[in-house]
Amino acid sequence: MQDPTAIVRHIIENAWNMGNLDVMDDVVSPEYKRRIPGGRLNGIDAFKEHIASTRVAFPDFHCRIDGFVEENGAGVVSYTTTGTNSGELNGLPSSGRQFESSGMTWFNVRDGKVIEEWELYDRYDVFAQLGLVA
């Protein structure tokens, strides 16, 4: 798989939406880096753990792709995510509440593997919808 948008779509549909983290081995670089609101992830294992812990907190987590812009392996995917907080989130007990949030991720794909991403979404808004902040 070489098309950058197909690679990113593959990760979203299989890893994020279905929890199948094994699909990442062929399309994510071992040296992968991700900037997320509130932190950074370094390496494919950290990325897999991030997805796994998100899916523990939100077993029904779903990411709908709203659009792509890509040129020469770099691009942006816009999306809408939804989920119900049915599990522990950042050490906090489940709120039982649902959220919906839009965001975008800048990605860079080289030699058929995602090497870097910058994720942007309103983390405060998600936490407010879950009743975790006032």
Tell me the domains of the chain and their CATH numbers. 4-129 (3.10.450.50)
pLDDT tens digit at each of 134 positions of the chain:
589 999 999 999 999 999 999 999 999 999 999 998 888 999 999 999 999 999 999 999 999 999 999 999 899 999 999 999 999 877 878 899 999 999 999 999 999 999 999 999 998 999 899 998 87
Q: Would the pTM of this model clear 0.75, i.e. be above it?
A: yes
Question: Residue 38 has what pLDDT?
Answer: 82
Question: Residue 65 has what pLDDT?
Answer: 98
Q: Which of 92, 81, 87 is nearest to 126 (CA)?
A: 81
Q: How many residues can be counted in the chain? A: 134
Question: What is the spatial distance between Cα 115 and Cα 8, in angstroms, rounded to a whole number?
Answer: 11
